[in-house]
Chains A and B, each alone.
Chain A
């Protein structure tokens, strides 16, 4: 059994470390310079290591996925072969369609991106733990990226830039519960606050009054209200459930994100931080 004096000392050390952790948490929550600086140093030191890790670990992950999803890969392979045959037949028709599409796009373009400056980025690594809700892309400050810039796919909102170095950026998914942003119900025009919920969904539990006409299947976009970091009318998702708050004054909506957040390969970063209108 350890002597009482040593035990007292270890408890004192534990107390100090717990207080230190809570201090760091508080400083980080307030986004203070010391923690930002430490993050920047850590990102710079580990950036080459992460690149190496991606190079080394990528094949490891691929091998593992090949082993664990062998049956799925075979089935997918079969489907893809059938698809190739079909696509070869469709190719000639597609050339005509593509010409028409180019003409149409010149008229309309992608509605929610429009003329906003943007950069396409490749996803280079996914979450690092089961609790992580971020991924990394191969673009950084050198490409004009800044913190809080919106990240989308052609389907809709994916997340925002939360950390950026010279050639990389970390993207926080919309499903992270720390991620709060304004949304608008397209049918009623009502504005609410969305945040990450459970099972890869979003929850809107502020701002939608109880008498708002909203039902399953309604679509939701970014609000674009003053102070929002996101441009308006970026598709966010569809309502999958509606209920009232306990005090019955507001409605709580569950939203299924419209963008597929699993297996992202390419994303588009809109180069505006609160200036997209």
Chain B
């Protein structure tokens, strides 16, 4: 229950940061997505299962605040959280740049998955030419915020998963 509350707090803070500081800033016409970063961080820090669960919870909460289809971000973040966790579990050697690279790759994957799901479920159309800019911006912002977010998620998920394989 305590873990649930801590994860909920991390998701809440991520959404506030997204709304307050990330959403108002556009670079190359694209906006960052730090809620996606929470799912990625959970996957990297606690494995695919926790990554998927946190991704689902964060995505669904974020969906409910937007006018788009509820469940779309939940589905995308679930898949990305799981993928990040699978990558994290598969890496045997621990190095400072591996979680960073995993964050960048998972962020890029997250944007592509979101674009595909938006196309499939009839959401906001994204031109293929605009996609690289979104990938670049989301990956860059998530890379910058990767370390504090992984720290926060690690603290939130600490017991009883502290002994799980991790990239930290």
Contacts and interface: CB of A to CB of B under 8 A. Distances in A.
A116 interface: no
Contact of B122 (A23, A43, A178): A178
Given A58-B24, A61-B25, A10 B52 contact: yes
A56 B85 CA distance: 34
Interface in B110-152: 111, 114-115, 118, 121-127, 130, 134, 137-138
A178 B125 CA distance: 10
Interface string B85-108: 100011000000000000000000
A10 B46 CA distance: 12
Q: Helix, strand, loop or mixed for chain A's interface?
A: helix
A126 B23 contact: yes
Contacts of A177: 122-125
B21 A57 contact: yes
Contacts of A196: 124-125
Interface residues of A, number: 59
B60 interface: yes
A17 B115 contact: no
Contact of A60 (B25, B47, B61, B75): B25
B66 A134 contact: yes
Given A10-B52, A128-B31, A64 B24 contact: yes
A130 B56 contact: no
A223 interface: no
A72 interface: no
A50 B19 contact: yes
Interface stretch (A24-32, A86-94, A238-246): A24-32
B29 to A, nearest CB: 8
Nearest to B85: A10
Overall SS of chain B's interface:
helix
A14 B79 CA distance: 8
B24 A131 contact: no
Contact of A53 (B19, B25, B30): B19
A8 B118 CA distance: 29
Interface in A88-124: none
A133 interface: yes
Contacts of A43: 64-65
Interface in A40-99: 41-43, 46, 49-50, 52-54, 56-58, 60-61, 64, 68
B30 A131 contact: no
B161 to A, nearest CB: 12
A178 B123 contact: yes
B115 A21 contact: no
Nearest to A134: B67
A170 B121 CA distance: 20
Contacts of A225: none
Contacts of B79: 14, 18
Contacts of A61: 24-25
Contact of B124 (A14, A42, A133, A163): A133
Given A14-B52, A21-B59, A24-B63, 7 more contacts: A17-B52, A28-B70, A60-B25, A127-B23, A130-B130, A130-B134, A134-B67
Interface of A: 1-2, 6, 9-10, 13-14, 17-18, 20-29, 35, 38-39, 41-43, 46, 49-50, 52-54, 56-58, 60-61, 64, 68, 125-134, 162-163, 170, 172, 176-178, 196-199
19 contacts: A2-B165, A14-B48, A14-B52, A17-B74, A18-B78, A21-B74, A26-B71, A49-B19, A50-B65, A125-B19, A128-B31, A128-B66, A129-B18, A130-B33, A130-B134, A133-B68, A134-B66, A170-B66, A178-B122
* Shortest beta-carbon contacts, A-B, top 9: A61-B24, A24-B71, A21-B75, A25-B71, A42-B64, A10-B49, A57-B20, A53-B19, A53-B20
